[in-house]
Each structure stands twice: as structure tokens, then as C-alpha cells.
């Protein structure tokens, strides 16, 4: 069997095709990265103002509703959430109302001064610590800061 060698013309044509493919890959990489970057981007930890800091005085935790734009990939969705603003050891704290057992929303009972979960009887003190029932962890505590007199919480 006689094996024919590629001609010089065939060899050069293959080199040109290979170089074209390389150039196309180099040019396409930034474009693909640009198109996919919103999908790969982590959600920003945005700060959301939930009210004037001066109105949150010590006492019964206040249930606050707030809204923000939740960005995920290419979509931006207006989201409404709830938080409890209270005090613990003279410090302003903001707690999530979501029970850490199975995700029901807790309510504050002014008589017992406890956050109580209606689903399985979980109870938390005013600092969010578990005092009774099945919840495995304290209520989630938002990071807070005061900017221009507004109490802001960090959404992660
Ligand atoms: S979901 Fe709250 S105690 Fe079970």
C-alpha cells in the first residue's frame, strides 16, 4: 500500500483553518464571558433601608415590611419581605421572621415576650435565641447599619 504525503497546498490549507479556529476562539471568549457573566454573578449583598432609625425604640419588636429589587442573572424582581426590629442588650437588632425549623413565619407574643412559631411550637426570645421546641438554630439576624438616619439591613 502506497501512502501519499499531503501536498504543500493541503498542508497550508490546514494551517490556515487551524489559525482561523484559534482566532475565532480568542475573539469569542470575551463575548461568551460577557453573555454568561450575569448568570454566574453572585447576588450582591445590597443594603436596604427599612425606616428611620429614631423610630425604633426599645420595647416590643416591630414587624416591618420592606421591598427591594432582587437581581438574579438577567431577571430583576421586586421582592417584599418582613423583618422584626427590636433590641437586645441595648443594641438595635433586626431578625428574620422565618423559623429555622421548617420555615414557618413566627409572630411576636407580647404577653410572653417570645417569638412563637405556629407550626410546631418553636419559641425564641427577643434576641432570637431558641428557648423551646424543635428549631435547631436562632432566628437569622440581619447585618445592620445606620446611614443618613435610616436603619439599613443587608440582604444576602
Ligand atoms: S417550623 Fe417553626 S417550629 Fe417547626
Q: Where are the domains of the chain?
A: 1-40, 46-155
Higher pLDDT, 71 or 106: 106
Q: How far is the CA of 132 from the centre of ligand 1 (A)?
A: 11
Chain-wide mean pLDDT for the chain?
89
pTM of the model: 0.73
46-155, CATH topology level: Rieske Iron-sulfur Protein (2.102.10)
Neighbours of 106 (CB within 10 A): 25
CA contacts within 13 A on the Cβ side of 121: 3
Q: Are 141 and 94 in contact (CB under 8 A)?
A: yes
Higher pLDDT, 5 or 46: 46
- Mean pLDDT over 61-73 rounds to 88
Task: Among 97, 101, 106, say which to mutate for ligand 1: greatest number of ligand atoms within 8 Å of CB.
Answer: 101
pLDDT in tens, 21-61: 999 999 988 888 888 777 766 566 789 999 898 888 888 89
For residue 63, what is its C-alpha cell? 414587624
Q: Which residue has the cell 476562539?
A: 25
Helix (H, G, I), strand (E, B) or coil at 18: helix
Q: Is the pLDDT of residue 121 over 70?
A: yes
> Lowest-pLDDT range, 67-71, 91-95, 135-139, 144-148?
67-71
Q: How far is the CA of 56 from the centre of ligand 1 (A)?
A: 27
Higher pLDDT, 95 or 53: 95
Classify the C-alpha dihedral 152-83-140-88 as positive or negative.
Answer: positive
Q: Cα–Cα distance between 153 and 83 in angstroms, integer?
A: 10
Identify the band that residue 117 occupies on the pLDDT scale cut at 50, 70 and 90: very high
Higher pLDDT, 34 or 113: 113
Task: Among 104, 116, 123, say which to mutate for ligand 1: greatest number of ligand atoms within 8 Å of CB.
Answer: 104
Residue 2's pLDDT is 60
Higher pLDDT, 45 or 136: 136
Q: How far is the CA of 101 from the centre of ligand 1 (A)?
A: 5
Task: Among 97, 116, 120, say which to mutate for ligand 1: greatest number of ligand atoms within 8 Å of CB.
Answer: 120
For residue 121, the ligand 1 atom closest to its alpha carbon is: 3
Amino acid at each position: 500500500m502506497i501512502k501519499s504525503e499531503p501536498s504543500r497546498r493541503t498542508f497550508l490549507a490546514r494551517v490556515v483553518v487551524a489559525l482561523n479556529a484559534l482566532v475565532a476562539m480568542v475573539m469569542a471568549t470575551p463575548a461568551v464571558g460577557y453573555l454568561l457573566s450575569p448568570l454566574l454573578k453572585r447576588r450582591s449583598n445590597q443594603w436596604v433601608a427599612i425606616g428611620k432609625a429614631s423610630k425604633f425604640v426599645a420595647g416590643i419588636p416591630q414587624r416591618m415590611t420592606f421591598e427591594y429589587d432582587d437581581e438574579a442573572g438577567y431577571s430583576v424582581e421586586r421582592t417584599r419581605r418582613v423583618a422584626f426590629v427590636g433590641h437586645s442588650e441595648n443594641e438595635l437588632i433586626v431578625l428574620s421572621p422565618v423559623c429555622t425549623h421548617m420555615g414557618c413565619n413566627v409572630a411576636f407574643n407580647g404577653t410572653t415576650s417570645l417569638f412563637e412559631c405556629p407550626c410546631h411550637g418553636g419559641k425564641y426570645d427577643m434576641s432570637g435565641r431558641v428557648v423551646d421546641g424543635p428549631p435547631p438554630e436562632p432566628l437569622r439576624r440581619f447585618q445592620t447599619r445606620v446611614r443618613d438616619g435610616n436603619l439599613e439591613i443587608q440582604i444576602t
